[in-house]
Structure 1
Amino acid sequence: MAFKIANTLELEHLHLLVQSLDVMTDFYNTLGLQILNRTTNQVEFAIPGNTKPILILSSNEKVSLRPPHTTGLFHFAILVPTREDLAYVIGNLLNLAIPITGAGDHIYSEAFYLNDPEGNGIEIYRDRPRSEWLSDGKGGLITGTEAVDIEGVMALYDNLRPWTGFPKGTALGHIHLNVSIINDATTYFYIDALGLDIMTNFHDSALFLSAGGYHHHIAVNTWQGVGASLPPQQTTGLLSYTLSLSSQEELQQLIANLQAHQVPHTLENGRLCVLDFNQDAMNFYIR
């Protein structure tokens, strides 16, 4: 029987390399994240009231902007608990004059998009109940990009609810990556070795991958061009992303499967590290 990663898998946080730590810190603080810790070269953010980071920013004097048509972060997605919470966040971001660059109804979710000052994509979304998701009849899900009912969402905006940042229950929902190619090696890594499921193959240009039947924890696409190169070192964007499992047994099962598939990995202080196709570190630990 093929290995499946535990359905307890959760995304915990991502780590970005940035050019201007001050500018990016101001942006994410205004966006509604709370500063947990700050040093000269690094800032950790959490959802207000939480003590675990959702985003880490690091910088140094040598960082340059990621060139176009390279692999890396397409966007990271912040999941809010309800449609009312989505209206609350988007309404307040508009009040704060933070530009919204797009929106999409993906059948299982309603999403709004924006970019940070260094061009990293951000999605803010809410999930519909799983009972409303549409099966493709093959164990996956049907998705698309339809127009969001913006009037319906914003009708739920309560301007008397004070802005205190992202609401309780907000989490890192998924991460979406630009890759150079989608082929058998891609599925070997994500499906055979990591034990994820393909929930949607979107026109052979994007794969949506998950554990436990979620629509996606990780997505990969070739929308920066098939054959896109890795960005130079010390350029802005994703350094690593961290996922968690619920037990030592689940972590050991993943390690055993990586060994069986000869996928390089390291284990240090209880953290499993695997390099993905963009040479970004995937970190796994027990929450």
Structure 2
Amino acid sequence: MDLPPVGLGTMGIDDPDPVATALSVGYRHLDTARIYGNEAVVGEGIAAALAGEELDREDVTVATKLWTDDLAADAVAPAARESADRLGVDALDLLYVHRPRGDYDPEATLPALDRLVDEGLVGGVGVSNFELADLDRAVDVLGRPPAAHQTELHPLFYKSELLDHAREHGYLVVAYSPLAGGRVRDVDPVVEVADAHGTTPEAVAIAWATAKEPVVTIPKASTEEHLRANLAAADLELTDAEVAAIDAVEREEELFPE
């Protein structure tokens, strides 16, 4: 799975305009989920962008997630087809297990997802909010690593062991909430690095995350100004010392615990 450093997280977006604007200014990775209740909105934004821009469907990675009540073996395919229909796409480029809870059974759920890859409805099987044991089991059942693991990652919370696992097995980590819900503005080392570069704490948080191979990010934004700023943050280069200073932040502010 090849994803750009910055994509668009859409949780809470209920208007297609930000999605269409994101695509028009250069975003090529859109992330949503069935539980967000906005797949149709994201689909409207995609349709508007494809109609009005020199943009082809294959240029955009469209990702969504199956919620915990979509994960029984016989529920996976119908749920995936419903999501594709709501998004207005023939295939989902990336389909995640949103959380390994509820009806999730790795021996049943993952093969059901894999069959959708064989059928061409899904491009890659992803996982989200997994711990190490969940990841190891997924690799065993699939016979390969997932296409991506989506996990909360920002200067106030991340798990280095999850990044190590991704590096060992060769898959992407997709960092959600990289701006810590705006809290990065109050993290002194982030603010100090931002001041040194003449930029914002938000830009530094994105640059810090994407400096951690193999991490890509999906910050949410709704205005063109913020969409452009987040996209440009991928070009900000931090020094090893600056990354280390942010790494050293005392962190335990998980926004989305179990």
Q: TM-score, normalised by structure 1?
A: 0.27
Judging by fraction of residues, say which structure has more helix.
2
Judging by fraction of residues, say which structure has more strand.
1
Q: TM-score, normalised by structure 2?
A: 0.29
Higher Rg? 1
